[in-house]
Amino acid sequence: MTLKKYNVQPLFAIPYMRADLSHAITPEQVEFIQNLKMVPNQTNLISENLYIFEEPELKSIKEAVQHALDTYASEVMGIPQKLYVTQSWSLINEPGQGMHGHAHSNSIVSGSLYYAPLPNPPSKMVFDKHTAYRQLVLNPLKEKQNIYNTPLNVVEPKDHEILMFPSELTHQVEPNMSKERRYSIAFNAFVKGTLGDFRDVSQLTL
Ligand SMILES: [Fe+2]
């Protein structure tokens, strides 16, 4: 017999945030980023420059990303400290290329910016709930899958959108099934300000 009356409530949840940054990206900037020197990454291409937001040509994009990070810090994380971009780089996934599962070290929030039109299909971002090897794999039945029990969740990016998520989350990018290149920017962000408490001797000023 199945229990008739019961309820299920969330204890914790992992957020991601998305926002449209089309207002901050010019055609000249798209061209500038697409013309950056690229070098082979594990499975795709990555810019040789790993601090691209420091380029004066990308000033308005850097400012818009900062604005999005400010919102993430205050509204998503609810913290008084500030987030700032550490490294930033561009990526190209040629047709057939995806990106293996990975997480971002020494970073609190990571993000992607789809600065140029995405190919069709756009290759989704696949997030993995588990960050370590699982001795016991108890995956839900497909028809019973929900936000509580799913081992992965998928986000379909949109043109000119920024997507931000906790850096420790393992994520991968589906192989590019289109005939065109898939362009994106990625970045890491860390925290600045004072953490902890003076009397508690847990104070840390970054
Ligand atoms: Fe990543």
CA of 5 to the centre of ligand 1 (A): 42
Residue 42 banded pLDDT, cuts 50, 70, 90: confident
Taking the C-alpha atoms of residue 181 and residue 168, their distance in angstroms, rounded to an integer, is: 27
Residue 200 has pLDDT above 90, yes or no: yes
> What residue segments make up the domains of the chain, in order of their start?
17-205
Q: Is 66 helix (H, G, I), strand (E, B) or coil?
A: helix
Ligand 1 centroid – CA 99 distance (Å): 8
> Is 186's pLDDT higher than 90?
yes
78: CA distance to ligand 1 center in Å? 23
CA distance 119 to 132: 32
Looking at residue 21, what is its pLDDT? 98
Between the CA of 129 and the centroid of ligand 1 the distance, in Å, is: 15
Find the mean pLDDT for residues 10-22.
Answer: 97
Kindly give the distance from the C-alpha atom of residue 194 to the centroid of ligand 1, in angstroms, as a whole number: 27
Range 17-205: architecture per CATH: Sandwich (2.60)
- For the cut 80, the answer to whether the pLDDT of residue 101 exceeds it is yes
Q: In this predicted structure, what is the pLDDT of residue 33?
A: 98
Quote the pLDDT of residue 118: 98
152: three-class secondary structure by DSSP: strand
Ramachandran region, residue 201 (left: φ > 0; alpha: ψ -120 to 50; beta: rest)? left
Distances (CA, A) of 100 to 8, 43, 49, 125, 179: 34, 8, 21, 11, 20
pTM for the predicted model, two decimal places: 0.95
- CA 187 – ligand 1 centroid, Å: 8
Q: Which of 51, 184, 169, 36 is nearest to 110 (CA)?
A: 169
Residues 123, 32: Cα–Cα separation, whole Å: 23
- Cβ count near 149 (within 10 Å): 12
